[in-house]
Amino acid sequence: MLWPIDLAILTLVVIVAIGALMVKDLLGAAILFGAYSFMMCLLWTIMGAVDVAFTEAAVGAGASTVFFVGAVFRTSRRTKD
Amino acid sequence: MADIVSTVVANYNYWIYITLMMIGLYAIIAKNNLVKKIVGMNIFQTAIILFYVSIGAKKGATIPILEHGHNGHGYNVVHAIDYVNPLPHVLMLTAIVVGVATLGVALALAIRVYNRYNTLEEDEILAQIREE
Amino acid sequence: MKITGLIIVILVGGLLIYAAADFPAWSDPASPASTYLSPHFIEKTIEETSVPNIVTAVLADYRGFDTMFETTVIFSAGVAVFVLLRTFRRKEPEIRHYRHVLTGVTIRVKKGGKIPPSDDFERIDGLWTPPDLIIKTVCRFLIPFIQLFALYVIAHGHHSPGGGFQGGVILGASIILLAISQDLRTALKRIAEKLDAVLCAVGVLIYAGTGALCLLLGLNFLDYGALASVLHVDPITARSHGILIVEIGVGIAVMATIIWIYNNLSSGGKYNQGL
């Protein structure tokens, strides 16, 4: 396990999570959530959990993001908050 | 003083996981938009899964797939210290899949709420309910 | 609400950080999580089940009961989204739009009018632009390879990372790609709605049926050693084959549910026009 990669990806994960909750455009929040999911997958690969990382890559960065985008297109895209 | 510093350095990973969990929890409680609440719920779930998987990590161990396979019926001796603990991985596989199922149902509820009240902001929905 | 949220979060976070001081050191081989049961799993998996991937063996054999109920949870989520969103109102809209396929001309037909039934006209809803030719063609080439890879992931789950869930999600994602790149109606022609719902239930049935078959053959529920008499192999290989059958069931159920939830979410329950 390489410690600098671990710490760098952890910091990036926190920044992307805060970013996904702060943007005013719901489509941007959905895409940032997909990026957050993908970085979690990288973290788990570093820790040796290959099955969990495979599932998160397929489910989180794949199916979850598409569900979000589908739901955002059926409702409104702007938010005040 | 050195005691506190050594505690911080040894446990900083757990602190970052707890920070992620608290970001997700804050989003569920305090955000007004329904879709942001759902994003917060998912951040909370994945942070907990990250915490569990990190419990099973071992220094200098390899992934939990046995290297030599099975050569006939003469099995090599396997040492548990060489492999990462597989038990948290199994539990977290179930957790991820249940998480995506919950996400589907939550988004379906959000679409129904939008069809009825024509907005996704929580304070506007509560105001409309109070008027009825 | 924000101040209440902040106070709650700081309190809970402080409590958890205070408890984190007692945790075992990170990545310690002698931590309590790695001492009671997992050495037994790591050392005895290859002798008892002949499956090198320890996670798949524990998931489908040692902890198979949990996985069966997880498949049931996935199935219930699909049914819940269907019940929440699906509307069957057959109200004909005032103006229907048809599109001539070869030239791209859009026709509007009022309520009483008819057009001759032929393959040249396709029904669209609203004013809709067809997807780009490059996207359509590239995705048509990619989808069979994606499905082949998904079948490889399911079948090779014993020796490499993978298994039933991952392969099922990738299979479902290939049909979602078809629906995104072309049209929801095209994807519905490939996998109809009723077939999808039935496949979802068939997956759970395969899993529970294997367990019941082991029960009928004399051993405990989900004890795959009983399949040795049906498959004519020794009990250890029978456990390996039992894991494969169960993973196929899980893969089918997960694929059907992902497609079902996507269909309902992206069309809002009306099944006319997707994203």
Q: Which residue has the higher pLDDT, B3 or C244?
A: C244
Which domain does B37 fall in, by range?
Answer: 2-131
Share of chain C above pLDDT 70, in %: 90
Three-class DSSP category at B65: strand
Whether the predicted pLDDT of C125 surpasses 80? no
Query: Domains in chain A: how many in total?
Result: 1
Whether residue A80 lies inside any domain: the answer is no
Q: Are A37 and B46 inside 8 Å of each other by CB? A: yes
> Does residue C10 form part of some domain?
no
What's the pLDDT at C36? 80
Number of folded domains that form chain B: 1
Cα atoms in the Cβ-side hemisphere of radius 13 Å centred on C216: 7
Mean pLDDT of C142-160: 93
- Is C15 part of a structural domain of the chain? no
**Cα separation of B13 and B104, whole Å?**
31
Using a CB–CB cut-off of 8 Å, the residues of A that contact B are 1, 6, 10, 13-14, 17-18, 20-21, 26, 29-30, 33, 36-37, 40, 43-44, 47-52, 55-56, 59-60, 63-64, 67-68, 70-72, 74-76, 79-81
Q: Within a domain: residue C120?
A: no
Burial class (CB in 10 A: 0-12, 13-18, 19+), C20: middle
- Domain assignment present for residue C155? The answer is yes
Q: Tell me if B92 and A49 make a contact (CB, 8 A cut-off).
A: yes
**pLDDT at residue number C126:** 60
Smallest CA–CA distance, residue A45 to chain C, in Å, is 11
Q: Is residue C174 part of a domain?
A: yes
Three-state DSSP class for residue A6: helix
Asked if pLDDT for residue C72 goes beyond 90, the answer is: yes
**Model pLDDT for residues B87-112, shown as the tens digit of each residue:** 899 999 999 999 999 999 999 999 99
Q: What is the pLDDT of residue A36?
A: 95
In terms of CA atoms, which chain C residue is nearest residue B105?
Answer: C81
- CB-based burial of residue C187 (10 Å sphere; 0-12 exposed, 13-18 middle, 19+ buried)? buried
Residues of chain C in contact with residue A66, where contact means CB-CB under 8 angstroms, are 173, 176, 180, 262
Mean pLDDT value of segment C208-219: 88
The residue in chain A having the minimum alpha-carbon distance to the alpha carbon of residue B35 is: A26
Handedness of CA B91, B46, C159, C200 (dihedral sign): positive
C261 contacts chain A (CB < 8 A): yes
Cβ distance of C52 and B66 shorter than 8 Å: yes
Task: Determine which helix (DSSP H) or strand (DSSP E) holds C123, and give its type and residue range.
Answer: strand C121-124
Q: Look at chain C and report how many structural domains it folds into.
A: 1
For the question of whether the overall pTM of this predicted structure is more than 0.80, the answer is: yes
Give the distance, in angstroms, between the CA of residue C112 and the centroid of all CA atoms in the same chain.
43
Determine, yes or no, domain membership for C240.
yes
Distance from CA of B20 to the nearest CA of A (A): 6
CB contacts, 8 Å: A62 with chain C: 169-170, 173
Whole-number average pLDDT of chain B: 86
User: Per-residue pLDDT tens for C164-175?
Assistant: 899 999 999 999
Report angle CA B58, B60, B61 to the nearest 5 degrees.
60
Quick count: other Cβ atoms within 10 Å of Cβ B22? 20
Contacts of C81 (CB under 8 A, 6+ apart): B104, B105, B108, C260, C261, C264, C265
Range of the domain at C190: 51-85+130-267
Test B107 with A60 for CB contact under 8 angstroms.
Answer: no
Q: What integer is the mean pLDDT of C171-193?
A: 90
Question: For testing the chain A interface, which of B22, B38, B53 should be mutated: the one with the most A CBs within 10 Å?
Answer: B53
- What are the pLDDT digits (tens) for C220-268? 888 888 888 888 888 888 888 999 999 999 999 999 999 999 999 988 8
The verdict on C184 touching A (C-beta cutoff 8 Å) is no
Distance separating alpha carbons of residues C272 and C270, to the nearest angstrom:
6
A78 pairs with which residues across the strands? A25
- What pLDDT is recorded for position C24? 77
pLDDT over 70 (residue C44): yes
Residue A43 covered by a domain: yes
The verdict on residue C144 lying in a domain is: yes
Over residues C34-51, the mean pLDDT reads: 82
Does residue C230 belong to any structural domain of this protein?
Answer: yes
- CATH (domain of B76): 1.10.287.3510
Query: Closest Cα of chain C to A67: distance in Å?
Result: 6
Q: C242 vs B79, which has greater pLDDT?
A: C242
The 10s digit of each residue's pLDDT in C11-33 is 999 999 888 877 777 767 667 77
Q: Amino acid letter at C230?
A: V
What residues make up the domain containing A48? 3-74
Strand partners, C124: C97
What is the side-by-side order of every strand in the sheet holding C121-124?
Answer: C106-109, C96-100, C121-124
* Interchain pair C265, A70: CB under 8 A: yes
Q: Which residues pair with C100 in a beta bridge?
A: C121
**C18 Cβ neighbours under 8 A, 6+ residues apart:** none
Q: Measured between alpha carbons, how far is residue C146 from residues A13, A57, B5, B96 in Å? A: 29, 15, 50, 22
